[in-house]
């Protein structure tokens, strides 16, 4: 069975003290995860070491960075490289979140470099893809997402693709309160899996977890996660509320 993953993206939220309390509250719920289930907390850079310490004794709980730079090292003041993340034993990193694409002009080609750097340093990328509202309304969402994958992922080998997590984010459903219907989520997740199948074969396509990342909430997680090709969620606002995120974790298949 593919990994079923509840990934929390804190974005630029939480004080250090609030972050400690949130992690303590979630972890103290003592959720028993199966071998196929994982919880990942993507926390701001200053909290990575603290968060790693918090989950150190927990089973199937991991910490992720929210971003990394696409270059190995250099005069990039304020940036963090995959090699730096590796040096503090961070093993997951979000790559290509829609907010990074929109606000920081990250291109598909740049994201391909980030993926290469993460994989080189034994970091599992959580690669985000998805369309804006105008693309969805024009009916061209499949072409749009296909280009994102082809330009960022398809240079990788089958063995490298095995190391990825993909998150489908309908941008029109992030932070808006709107959520793709279960039919829309399943349709796009199945389409993404078909692209992987066409490029890398069925065995690889059936192994790669594809998360849904558009306004996942405690009240809709179970229905969304029940879709055949949805393997959990990349959760924003609801991951900042311990009780909500606990319910989302419990909704994993």
**pLDDT confidence bin for 23, thresholds 50/70/90:** very high
Query: Each residue of 77-86: b (16+ CB within 10 Å) or e?
Result: eeebbbbbbb
pLDDT exceeds 90 at position 172:
no
DSSP 121: T
Number of domains in the chain: 1
Bridge partners (DSSP) listed for residue 69: 81
In Å, how far from its chain's centre is CA 75? 28
Look up 97 and say whether it is catalytic: yes
**pLDDT confidence bin for 220, thresholds 50/70/90:** very high
CATH number at residue 150: 3.20.20.70
pLDDT exceeds 90 at position 180:
no
pTM of the model: 0.96
DSSP strands (E only) in 97-231:
124-129, 165-168, 210-212
pLDDT for 95: 98
Range of the domain at 96: 4-250
Name the catalytic one among 97, 99, 131, 189. 97
DSSP 42: E
Q: What is the mean pLDDT of residues 30-48?
A: 97
In Å, how far from its chain's centre is CA 229? 15
Task: Check: CB of residue 126 under 8 Å from CB of residue 234.
Answer: yes
Instruction: Give kind and range of the element (H or E) at residue 44.
Output: none
In Å, how far from its chain's centre is CA 131? 16
| Separation between Cα atoms, residue 112 and residue 80, nearest integer Å | 17
Average pLDDT, the chain: 96
| Separation between Cα atoms, residue 76 and residue 93, nearest integer Å | 19
Bridge partners (DSSP) listed for residue 168: 129, 212
* The two structure tokens encoding residue 44: 């701001």
* The two structure tokens encoding residue 5: 């993953």
pLDDT exceeds 80 at position 176:
no
DSSP 81: B
Q: What is the mean pLDDT of residues 119-141?
A: 96
Cβ count within 10 A of residue 104: 10
pLDDT exceeds 90 at position 166:
yes
Rg (CA), the chain: 17
pLDDT exceeds 80 at position 42:
yes
Cα atoms in the 13 Å half-sphere on the side-chain side of 148: 24
């Amino acid at each position: 069975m593919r990994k079923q993953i509840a990934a929390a993206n804190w974005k630029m939220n939480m004080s250090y003290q609030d972050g400690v309390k949130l992690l303590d509250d979630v972890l103290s719920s003592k959720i028993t995860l199966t071998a196929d289930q994982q919880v990942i907390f993507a926390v701001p850079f200053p909290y990575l070491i603290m968060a790693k310490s918090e989950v150190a004794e927990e089973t199937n709980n991991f910490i992720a960075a929210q971003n990394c730079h696409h270059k190995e090292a250099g005069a990039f003041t304020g940036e963090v490289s995959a090699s730096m993340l590796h040096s503090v034993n961070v093993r997951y990193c979000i790559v290509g979140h829609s907010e990074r694409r929109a606000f920081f002009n990250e291109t598909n080609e740049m994201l391909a470099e980030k993926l290469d750097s993460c994989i080189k340093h034994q970091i599992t990328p959580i690669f985000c893809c998805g369309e804006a509202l105008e693309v969805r309304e024009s009916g061209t969402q499949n072409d749009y997402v296909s280009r994102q994958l082809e330009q960022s992922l398809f240079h990788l080998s089958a063995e490298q693709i095995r190391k990825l997590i993909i998150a489908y984010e309908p941008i029109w459903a992030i932070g808006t309160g709107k959520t793709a219907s279960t039919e829309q989520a399943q349709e796009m997740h199945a389409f993404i899996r078909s692209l992987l199948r066409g490029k890398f074969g069925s065995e690889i396509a059936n192994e790669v977890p594809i998360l849904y990342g558009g306004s996942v909430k405690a009240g809709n997680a179970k229905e969304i996660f029940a879709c055949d090709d949805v393997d959990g969620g990349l959760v924003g606002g609801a991951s900042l509320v311990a009780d909500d995120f606990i319910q989302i974790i419990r909704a994993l298949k």
